[in-house]
């Protein structure tokens, strides 16, 4: 629901339309191991369920990351410096960036980038009214795809890209490496990346985090099928799939799947897609890193890891990378 009194704000729109959504879903379901792109979780309902996941006790990421931010925000703001242009990838409800903005010295602009058009517009309008001195320019885009970054009205001292929440972990290794290279070219020499990176830990903790008692992660997973049914005229029977998430230690990732309970077929874009009983659709991976592996990747993309902050248990890290 839009807040009254806020002016209508037009995003720069590079977001995928229905045709691309359909093409990507068909391509994923046509593979021997069926898969769906996790970026499509975040329609309005998916974004809302994800916000609720962030409040459950088992899903430690937001809580631990917030504690690291609170403990070290002064140092982070000093490193980012005066007059920065802040861009956020996967800005969601923009909750986290407020804390950062409140501590930065006269940031020139904030560019939130998100694929969820509805949520992006609402929160960008709210932020613009809360920070009247700040240029807020929402960009609707899949941040893995190429898109043009506009110039800020005021000249920034540096571009800093903020990528919290371990969303980086949702990228497979090759796209993850390419993503870091793209970020390095977007922020330019001397520019920075402030990134949340989830770390390897006890698999039991990970299992609980992606199998919460309230069933919110399952609901989040199912919402992808619900969205495909609604937006692409498909006929998935949600009752006949099960949420299945587990930690794969060999690949250092949590895998999320939807398992078909029975042999069945669904119809999409004029095609019939068959499922065997027990067959899975792989919907998401969440990679967990150790500090050395991540540093190697960052360095290969042209970044120096300047600072790493972690919590006492070393469950999560926030890292400040500078582009060489």
Among 37, 107, 164, 169, interactor with ligand AVI by CB under 6 A: 169
| Chain-centroid distance, C-alpha 307 | 22
Alpha-carbon distance of 1 to 16, in angstroms, equals: 23
- Find the shortest distance in angstroms from Cβ 78 to ligand AVI: 27
Task: List binders of ligand AVI among 57-96 (CB under 6 A).
Answer: 61
Alpha-carbon distance of 88 to 161, in angstroms, equals: 6
- Find the shortest distance in angstroms from Cβ 167 to ligand AVI: 5
DSSP 52-88: HHTTSTT--HHHHHHHHHHHHHHHHHHHH-TTEEEEE
Among 91, 252, 260, 286, interactor with ligand AVI by CB under 6 A: 286
Residue 280 in the binding site for ligand AVI (CB under 6 A): no
Residue 202: CB atoms within 10 Å: 11
Stretch that binds ligand AVI, among 6-14, 17-25, 99-107, 162-170 (CB under 6 A): 162-170
Among 60, 163, 210, 316, interactor with ligand AVI by CB under 6 A: 210
Stretch that binds ligand AVI, among 142-150, 166-174, 272-280, 314-322 (CB under 6 A): 166-174
Residue 154: CB atoms within 10 Å: 12
Task: List binders of ligand AVI among 232-271 (CB under 6 A).
Answer: none
What are the angstrom distances between the C-alpha of 269 and each of 23, 26, 31, 67, 315? 9, 8, 16, 46, 43
Among 53, 152, 160, 297, interactor with ligand AVI by CB under 6 A: 53
Binding site for ligand AVI (CB under 6 A): 53, 61, 165-167, 169-170, 210, 217, 220, 284, 286
């Amino acid at each position: 629901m839009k807040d009254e009194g806020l002016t209508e704000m037009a995003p720069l729109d590079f977001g995928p339309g229905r045709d691309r959504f359909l093409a990507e879903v068909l391509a994923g379901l046509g593979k021997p191991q069926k898969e769906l792109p996790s970026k499509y979780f975040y329609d309005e309902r998916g974004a809302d369920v994800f916000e609720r996941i962030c409040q459950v006790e088992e899903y430690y990421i937001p809580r631990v990351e917030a504690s690291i931010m609170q403990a070290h925000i002064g140092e982070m703001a000093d490193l980012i410096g005066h007059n920065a242009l802040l861009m956020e990838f996967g800005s969601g409800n923009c909750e986290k960036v407020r804390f950062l903005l409140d501590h930065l010295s006269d940031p020139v602009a904030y560019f939130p980038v998100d694929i969820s058009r509805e949520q992006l517009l609402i929160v960008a309008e709210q932020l613009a009214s809360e920070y009247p001195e700040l240029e807020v320019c929402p960009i609707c885009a899949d941040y893995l795809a190429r898109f043009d970054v506009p110039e800020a009205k005021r000249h920034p001292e540096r571009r800093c890209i903020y990528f919290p929440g371990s969303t980086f972990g949702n990228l497979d290794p090759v796209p993850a490496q390419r993503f870091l290279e793209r970020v390095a070219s977007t922020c330019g020499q001397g520019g920075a990346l402030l990134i949340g990176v989830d770390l390897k830990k006890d698999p039991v903790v990970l299992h609980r985090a992606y199998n919460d008692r309230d069933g919110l992660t399952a609901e989040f997973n199912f919402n992808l099928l619900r969205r495909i049914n609604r937006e692409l005229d498909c006929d998935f029977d949600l009752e006949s799939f099960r949420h299945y998430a587990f930690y794969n230690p060999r690949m250092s990732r949590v895998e999320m799947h939807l398992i078909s309970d029975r042999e069945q077929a669904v119809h999409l874009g004029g095609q019939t897609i068959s499922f065997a009983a027990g067959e899975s659709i792989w919907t998401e991976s969440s990679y967990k890193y150790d500090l050395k592996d991540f540093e190697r990747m960052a360095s290969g993309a042209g970044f120096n890891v300047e600072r790493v902050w972690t919590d006492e248990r070393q469950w999560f890290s926030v890292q400040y990378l500078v582009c060489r």
